[in-house]
Amino acid sequence: MNGEPPDPHSATPALSHSPTPAFPRSATPALPDSATSPFPHSGTSLSSRQSRLNVLVSAAACGIGFTGFTLVMPFLPLYISELGVTDVGEVALWTGLTLGATPAVTAVSAPLWGRVGDRYGSKLLVVRSLSAFVLTKAAMGFVTSPWQLFALRALLGVFAGYGALTMSMAAESVPRERMAAAIGTVQVGQRLGPAIGPILGGILAPIVGLRAAFLVTAAFYLVALILVLVVYREPRERRERVAPRTLGSVVSQLAGTPGFLLLLGVIFAMQMVDRSFGPILPLYVAQLGVSSSAIALVSGALFSTAAVFAAVGHRYADNLLKRWSPRTLIATSSVAAAIAVGLAGLIPALWIFAIALAVSGAAIGVAMTAAYASAGALLPSDAHSTGFGLMTTASLVGMAGSPIMAGLVGSSAIRVVFAVDVALLAALTWSVWRYMQASAASPRPTVASDVSVS
């Protein structure tokens, strides 16, 4: 475009000139040229040191925030009981509503805030989001009834979505060939935070009390806020030549971008499988013969095992993408996860289950990072944060739907959940192998990568 050679760090790979494209040329959306790449580090004043700092701060802010977010989860039912709810059924109902309020609202608000982030910068929105978390988490320590707790959690969903924005902040701070590594680093923080948070909450609650624990959570967010304010430097050049567009226009373009919806499906399906173990894990552990006194400890250890190995998968996905295409990597990861989950359902042994969680966790971690990085490579320069917001919506829908699916299916037989997971992973493998071309949406810079699907 513009008569200049293609920028190797251009955000969106050029379309292949295959004689049999999957879509008519008229249906192929216009792609931005290299002058408006959403990965500005290749052409901005960010130094290599600042680029690395940006990624680390994004990951740290996300990890600290997720730690604080999950710190109060272990005792939320106890807190609701302390607010005057005595019936066990009502406690369970209020707990479910309260926990679901934030992700439900965030699933809707994430793309909207992402659009604002594309115009004014992701850092501003992350600061806004973390500030809202500081205030609302502190306020939760002073509520007097369950509906107030629910209302604050719902309000939090309006200002949440910083997880997607921190990934966007990290991705736009590095050259394209380092995008997968940057996203994977942030995802490690997203995994380790929820693994650490409940443990800290279980330790702190008896010491400081349930109400004061919310103030501790607010302090975690305050630390994350200070890190972003002081250390992160936003690359602003990418927005200088971009005229603002409506959210509908951006969503329409992304929906018409070959491969983008498929990658959203990958994120959704992997999240469905990943979260399906939560509602049934303690029950399945009990079925495996673990004594009632050790069920909580064993379940916690298994949860942590899955989270740690998923973090490992996120961390090393970038190295694997240097050897294999996203199509091969996602499909292979799906097969590995399906085999592990299938064996866990067929062979009722605790050590088999532990290995299955480790293998499936690592495989899901690799696939998720590959999907996010590949989808990020398809984003036009003025829709970077919006695109990551849509990915967050896909993830949150899977996160919300998975426990419901597992609860309904597991009510008949727990092992049926494993069968459903295997079927979902098999369908995902077929879809990726059938519809994603070998070089589709590669986060690696190439002269003419193919981003279409067959």
**The last residue of a domain, from among 221, 237, 253:** 237
Q: Are residues 134 and 209 in the same domain?
A: yes
Mean pLDDT of 202-207: 77
Asked if pLDDT for residue 18 goes beyond 60, the answer is no
| Reported confidence tier of residue 263, pLDDT bands at 50, 70, 90 | very high
The predicted-structure confidence for 57-102, as pLDDT tens digits, reads as follows 999 998 888 888 777 766 777 788 888 888 767 776 787 778 777 7
Count of the separate structural domains present in the chain = 2
Q: For the segment 289-340, what is each residue's pLDDT rounded down to a tens digit? A: 888 778 767 877 887 788 889 989 998 998 898 899 999 999 999 999 999 9
Sign of the torsion formed by the C-alpha atoms of 347, 353, 358 and 361? positive
Amino acid letter, 379 = L
In a domain, 337, yes or no: yes
In a domain, 124, yes or no: yes
Contact 382, 242 (CB under 8 A): yes
Tell me, yes or no, whether 101 and 201 share the same domain.
yes
Q: Is residue 22 part of a domain?
A: no
Question: Residues 316, 209: one domain?
Answer: no
Could you tell me if 323 and 341 lie in one domain? yes
Please choose, from the candidates 288, 279, 261, 273, the residue with its C-alpha nearest in 3D space to the C-alpha of residue 341: 273
Neighbours of 97 (CB within 10 A): 17
Confirm if 433 and 331 have CB atoms less than 8 A apart: yes
**Domain hosting residue 202, numbered range:** 36-237
CA distance 380 to 377: 8
Rounded to whole angstroms, the Cα distance separating 184 from 315 reads 5
Q: Is residue 180 domain-resident?
A: yes
Residue 377 in this model has a pLDDT that exceeds 60: yes
Among 219, 237, 255, residue at a domain's last position: 237
HEC states along 63-130? HHHHHHHHHCHHHHHHHHHHCCCCCHHHHHHHHHHHHHHHHHHHHHHHHHHHHHHHHHCHHHHHHHHH
First to last CA, the chain: 25
- The answer to whether residue 423 sits within a structural domain is yes
pTM: 0.72
List C-alpha distances in Å: 303 to 96, 192, 354: 20, 11, 9
Same domain, 294 and 363: yes
Last residue of one domain, picked from the residues 189, 217, 237: 237
Give which of 40, 41, 42, 37 is closest to 11, Cα–Cα.
Answer: 37
Residue 269 clears pLDDT 90, i.e. is over it? yes
Question: What angle do the packed helices 414-435 and 260-275 form, to 10 degrees?
Answer: 160
Residue 12: inside a domain: no
- Give the closest residue to 432 by CA, choosing from 319, 328, 322: 328
Tell me, yes or no, whether 152 and 248 share the same domain. Answer: no
336 and 203 in a common domain: no
The pLDDT of residue 53 is above 50: yes
Helices (H), 209-294: 210-231, 247-255, 260-275, 281-287
**What mean pLDDT do residues 13-36 have?**
36
Read off the CATH number of the domain in which 104 is found: 1.20.1250.20
Is 370 within the bounds of a domain?
A: yes
Report the number of secondary-structure helices (H) and strands (E) in the chain.
16, 0
Q: CA-to-CA distance for 316 and 362, rounded, in angstroms? A: 9
Nearest of 225, 106, 97 to residue 158 by alpha carbon: 106
Answer whether residue 14 is part of any domain: no
Angle at CA of residue 409, ends 407 and 410, nearest 5°: 65
369: tokens are: 């990072």
Segment 1-6 long-range contacts (CB within 8 Å, at least 24 positions apart):
1/33, 1/34, 2/33, 2/35, 4/34, 6/34, 6/447, 6/448
Same domain, 157 and 297: no
Q: Does residue 293 sit in the same domain as residue 200?
A: no
Domain shared by 272 and 325, yes or no: yes
Is residue 194 domain-shared with residue 63, that is, in the same domain?
A: yes
Q: Are residues 290 and 310 in the same domain?
A: yes
